[in-house]
Amino acid sequence: MANTIYDLAKAAGVSIATVSRALNDHYAVSEETKKRILALAEEMDYRPNARASNFARQRSGVVLFVTDLHRNVAFENPHMFEIMTGISQYLDEKNYAMLLKHTTMKEAPQAIKEMMIREQADGVIIHAAILSRALAGMLSHLPLPHLVIGKPDFPTSICWMDVNHEQAGQTAANYLLDKGYRRMAFLMGDRETDRISAARRNGMLHMFAEEELSFTTFYGDSTYESGLNQAEEALSMQQPPEILLCTNNYLAMACLQIIRQKGLSVPADIAIMTFDNYPFSKLTQPQLTAVEADMFDMGQEAGRFILRKIRMPELQTQSYCTIPRIIEREST
């Protein structure tokens, strides 16, 4: 008869939970204990079985956060780290730990499946940057407590949570209209792939249409370099806009640069507003008015949900959380 996790725990003189964590390289177990348990597992030819896997899923005390941690990701997506901080702090209060793992969209389905088979965690939170139909299909068919941060761009039954970006666009439009702005240019990323900016634009279109107004949209790739070209185009219009609304801080920084080059002043000659408070809106001169969503709060909600999902596997959610707000500064 094959040795079980109980046999291994007895031989090592530790609890079953300690054995499970040692086999999964958990930080809560000392290196000395890990080495001793791994050596015993090899000596006893121990292989995890279904019963042990079930135990680990119930008691590991770990939630995985899985995303693509490519180089410069912190600058490209600073909000992701606010979300992770919220998740980690909430889990810590509940005596759970968050384990950060890297994978790519292509590798994610197999990588996440293997992580759970190896008993690394009770549940998994997945950043939408690595979500694919293949991964969604796997999540739908495995009894794996999960939550995706970001709304999928295809129909699926998996659990997800997101900011209501269309509502953020409506919030921005209401603010601008109340301030008396009527001629606006919106600078965003790629027309086909920048789904977040597209949702914001849809929200703004709805509010402007109610006033029988419209605005011009300039597309690019959401980088500073692209913003220079978009801002140049916007300011070269026959009737220049009163305000440039940018989908991120990189585009807003580019707009400030072009405006200065043309000898114009913000906000006297032209105003600027940006989505997202980070990373630069408070560092510019003048400081930028921003439409901000509380990503830390979103992380807290994600942590709360995944622990409920672990306790109640039948629980489902496909919802928006956190209300966008205007942070008014000098640029408007």
Domain ranges of the chain: 5-57, 61-163+297-322, 165-292
Write the pLDDT tens digit of every residue in 31-40. 899 889 989 9
Write the pLDDT tens digit of every residue in 79-134. 889 999 999 999 998 888 999 999 999 999 999 888 877 767 889 999 999 999 99
The DSSP element (H or E) to which 195 belongs, if any, is helix 195-210
| Confidence band for 74, pLDDT divided at 50, 70 and 90 | confident
Q: Report the distance separating Cα 178 and Cα 159, nearest Å.
A: 37
| Confidence band for 23, pLDDT divided at 50, 70 and 90 | confident
- Looking at per-residue pLDDT, the higher value among 241 and 3 belongs to 241
pLDDT > 50? residue 281: yes
* pLDDT value, residue 49: 55
Dihedral angle sign, alpha carbons of residues 261, 262, 268, 274: negative
Write the pLDDT tens digit of every residue in 222-269. 899 999 999 999 999 999 999 999 999 999 999 999 999 999 999 999
The phi, psi pair for 49, rounded to 5°, reads -115, 180
* pLDDT value, residue 57: 44
* pLDDT value, residue 1: 63
Q: What is the CATH number of domain 5-57?
A: 1.10.260.40
Write the pLDDT tens digit of every residue in 197-227. 999 999 999 999 999 999 999 999 989 999 9
Q: Which CATH number fits domain 61-163+297-322: 3.40.50.2300, 3.90.420.10, 3.40.720.10, 3.40.120.10?
A: 3.40.50.2300
Level-2 CATH architecture, domain 165-292 = 3-Layer(aba) Sandwich (3.40)
Q: Report the distance separating Cα 116 and Cα 97, nearest Å.
A: 15
Closest CA to 299 of 82, 110, 116, 77: 82
Instruction: Judge whether 5-57 and 61-163+297-322 match in fold.
Output: no
Please report, for residues 131, 148, 211, 274, the alpha-carbon distance to residue 243 in angstroms, rounded to integers and kept in the order given: 35, 35, 17, 11
